[in-house]
Chain A
Amino acid sequence: MEFFDVAWRLLAVLVAFLTLPLLVGQTEHKVMAHMQGRVGPMYAGGFHGWAQLVADGVKFAQKEDVVPAAADRRVFQLAPAVALVPYLLVLIAIPIAPNGVVGQVVDAGIFFVLAVLGVGVLGQVMGGWASANKYSLLGGMRTAAQLLAYELPLLLAAASVAMAAGTLSLPGMLESWQWWWLPWQLIGAFVFFTAGIAELHRPPFDAPLAPEEIIFGPLTEYGGLRFALFMLAEYAGIVVISALTAVLFLGGWHGPFADQLGWLWMLLKTAALCFLVIWMRVAWPRLRADQIQRFAWTCLVPLALFQIALTGVVKVVFL
Chain B
Amino acid sequence: MSGLVLLGAERGFLSPTGVEITFLLVGLVTLGGAVLAVTSRQLVHAALWLVVALGGIAVLYLLLTAEFIAWVQVLIYVGSVVVLLLFGLMLTKAPIGPSPDADSGNRWVALAVALATAATLVTVVVDAFRTAWIELDVPQGTTEIVGRSLFRHWVLPFEALSLLLLAALVGAIVLSRRKKERR
Contact = CB atoms under 8 A, between A and B. Distances in A.
Given A122-B51, A125-B86, A148-B87, A108 B71 contact: yes
A118 B71 contact: no
Contact of A107 (B44, B67, B84, B90): B67
A70 B139 CA distance: 49
B67 A148 contact: no
Interface string A100-133: 0000001110011011111101100110111010
A129 B78 contact: no
A115 B44 CA distance: 21
B53 to A, nearest CB: 14
A128 B87 CA distance: 11
Interface in B68-96: 68, 71-72, 74-75, 78-80, 82-84, 86-87, 89-91, 93-94, 96
User: What does DSSP make chain B's interface, helix, strand, loop or mixed?
Assistant: helix
A111 B75 contact: yes
B131 to A, nearest CB: 28
A148 B116 CA distance: 35
Interface in B14-43: 42
A143 to B, nearest CB: 9
Contacts of A155: 75
B120 interface: no
Contacts of A137: 90, 93
Contact of A148 (B51, B80, B94): B80
A147 B48 contact: no
Contacts of A121: 79, 83
B57 to A, nearest CB: 13
B58 to A, nearest CB: 8
Nearest to B74: A115
B68 A129 contact: no
Contacts of A129: 44, 86, 89-90, 94, 96
B85 to A, nearest CB: 9
Contacts of B45: 72, 75
Contacts of B117: none
Contacts of B97: 72
Interface residues of B, number: 29
A155 B90 CA distance: 25
A85 interface: no
Contact of B75 (A107, A114, A122, A128): A114
Nearest to A166: B144
Interface residues of A, number: 34
A151 interface: yes
A157 to B, nearest CB: 15
Nearest to B65: A107
B149 interface: no
A117 B40 CA distance: 27
Contacts of A168: 68, 143
Contact of B74 (A72, A107, A116, A130): A116
A125 B48 CA distance: 11
Q: Which of B71, B80, B84 has the most CB of A within 10 A?
A: B71
B44 A75 contact: yes
A118 B72 contact: no
Contacts of A132: 96
Nearest to B139: A107
Nearest to B91: A141
A39 interface: no
B75 A144 contact: no
B79 A141 contact: no
A106 B67 contact: yes
A244 B105 CA distance: 50
B162 interface: no
Given A70-B96, A72-B96, A108-B67, A148 B84 contact: yes
A137 B91 CA distance: 9
Given A72-B96, A117-B79, 13 more contacts: A72-B97, A107-B67, A107-B143, A119-B79, A122-B79, A129-B44, A129-B89, A137-B93, A140-B86, A141-B87, A145-B87, A147-B79, A147-B83
Interface of A: 70-72, 75, 106-108, 111-112, 114-119, 121-122, 125-126, 128-130, 132, 137, 140-141, 144-145, 147-148, 151, 155, 167-168
Interface of B: 42, 44-45, 48, 51, 67-68, 71-72, 74-75, 78-80, 82-84, 86-87, 89-91, 93-94, 96-97, 139, 142-143
17 contacts: A71-B96, A72-B96, A107-B67, A107-B139, A107-B143, A111-B71, A112-B67, A114-B79, A121-B79, A122-B83, A129-B96, A130-B96, A144-B83, A147-B83, A148-B87, A167-B143, A168-B68
